[in-house]
Amino acid sequence: MQDLISWETQSSVPVQVDDLTITPQAQAFTMQTPFGGFVWNRPSAVTVEENGRIKHHPIPDVTRSALITFAAISILFNLLLFFLRKIR
């Protein structure tokens, strides 16, 4: 099953700027089938190393949050309409 579907975090090539080392990270979801496949990538974080200290800065996925919010509002609205029709 792991050969067909995988979800992993990958780091890119670090970039050196003065005394900062910046490493971007991305999450990748891959699904492979005998007749094709699907890959979805998204940036997930940036790791910054400065003077031996490492800071991890996550990148929020605003689009996914908005889609989940709109889906929840849509479901609640449809349930409300369904129950209002049942009451009448």
Q: Kindly tell me if the per-residue pLDDT of 3 is higher than 80.
A: no
What pLDDT is attached to residue 28? 93
What pLDDT is attached to residue 38? 92
> Tens of pLDDT along 38-64?
998 999 999 999 998 999 999 998 998
Region at 31 (left for phi over 0; alpha for psi -120 to 50; beta for the rest): beta
0.75 surpassed by pTM: no
As to burial, measured by CB atoms within 10 angstroms (0-12 exposed, 13-18 middle, 19+ buried), residue 70 is: exposed
> Tens of pLDDT along 21-34?
999 999 999 999 88
